[in-house]
């Protein structure tokens, strides 16, 4: 609902910069200060860029051309990418055959979802396909950011870390939006502002903070399991509120992707 009237990078930038500032100020009131450690701040900026600029901004851009329910299905491949990227780190575990099968099956589910666009005669809906590619690149970036955060856990309190990441990611998105000239076209309507405030509170102040907190206390493979829940909720909400189509093909693709994620997870340990 937000992306119909908001410019994409300014929407994400203002949302996360505001949420990050609120969290940092709240921590300051509690007596927790931002440490003057350049390496720590650099690591925080990297994490915020991978998770929010690479991950969330890709979703914002893609949702201009891809329905929200299908977007959630596409992004649900993120746990698979998390397992793969985690395995590539120095302390990573060797991937089991079923993990590779799960990865290929997940990609097959994505193909089922977009097959009508691939098989249709020209002109192909290039914007839809571009959105699908963006979603997979965003999933990879989010997975990389999750693994990166875990590798540097306990460097700062989780809530402060979430605030710093959101502020850093928000600033980068604002800079990108400024370079693209988005300020000149910014004209959100009432529904756009309602969506912005909803995502500021529930998506950023609650959802993202909880995500970073979980990364600091649980194995990354377990945290990534929220990818099972998101598609189900998003598909239902998209169909009920936005009247998005969800037929047999979409249901089949969803089942393939979620089954692939489950198969990939069975090939990993909880310490991944």
Q: Which helix (H) or strand (E) holds 161?
A: helix 158-179
Specify whether the CB–CB gap between 237 and 68 falls below 8 A. Answer: yes
Residue 272: the pLDDT is 44
Specify whether the CB–CB gap between 159 and 27 falls below 8 A. Answer: yes
Residue ranges of domains in the chain: 2-266
pLDDT by 10-residue block (mean), the chain, 272 residues: 87 95 93 84 91 91 82 77 81 72 75 65 69 89 88 76 92 95 91 92 90 79 69 75 74 77 62 44
Residue 115: the pLDDT is 67
* Cα radius of gyration (the chain): 19
CA dist 192 and 198 (Å) reads 10
* Claim: this prediction has a pTM higher than 0.85: no
CA dist 218 and 210 (Å) reads 12
Residue 154: the pLDDT is 61
Separation in Å, CA 261 to CA 21, 83, 101, 111: 35, 10, 10, 15
Residue appearing with tokens 């990818």? 227
DSSP states along 238-267: HHHHS-----HHHHHHHHHHHHHHHHHHHT
């Amino acid at each position: 609902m937000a992306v119909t009237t908001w410019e994409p990078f300014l929407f994400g930038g203002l949302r996360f910069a505001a949420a990050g500032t609120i969290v940092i100020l709240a921590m300051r009131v509690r007596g927790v200060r931002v440490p003057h450690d350049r390496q720590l701040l650099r690591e925080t900026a990297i994490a915020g860029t991978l998770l929010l600029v690479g991950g969330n901004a890709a979703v914002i851009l893609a949702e201009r051309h891809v329905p929200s329910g299908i977007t959630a299905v596409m992004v649900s491949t993120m746990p698979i990418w998390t397992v793969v990227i985690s395995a590539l780190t120095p302390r990573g575990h060797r991937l089991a055959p079923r993990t590779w099968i799960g990865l290929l099956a997940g990609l097959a589910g994505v193909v089922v979802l977009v097959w009508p666009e691939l098989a249709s005669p020209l002109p192909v809906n290039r914007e839809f396909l571009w959105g699908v590619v963006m979603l997979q690149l965003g999933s990879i970036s989010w997975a990389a950011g999750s693994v990166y955060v875990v590798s540097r856990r306990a460097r700062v309190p989780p809530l402060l870390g979430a605030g710093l990441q959101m502020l850093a990611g928000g600033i980068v998105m604002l800079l990108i939006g400024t370079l693209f000239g988005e300020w000149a076209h910014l004209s959100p309507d009432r529904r756009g502002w309602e969506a912005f405030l909803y995502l500021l509170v529930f998506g950023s102040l609650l959802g993202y903070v909880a995500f970073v907190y979980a990364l600091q206390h649980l194995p990354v493979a377990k945290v990534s399991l929220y990818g099972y829940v998101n598609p189900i909720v998003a598909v239902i909400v998209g169909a009920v509120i936005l009247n998005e189509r969800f037929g047999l093909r979409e249901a089949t693709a969803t089942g393939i992707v979620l089954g692939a994620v489950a198969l990939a997870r069975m090939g990993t340990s909880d310490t991944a």
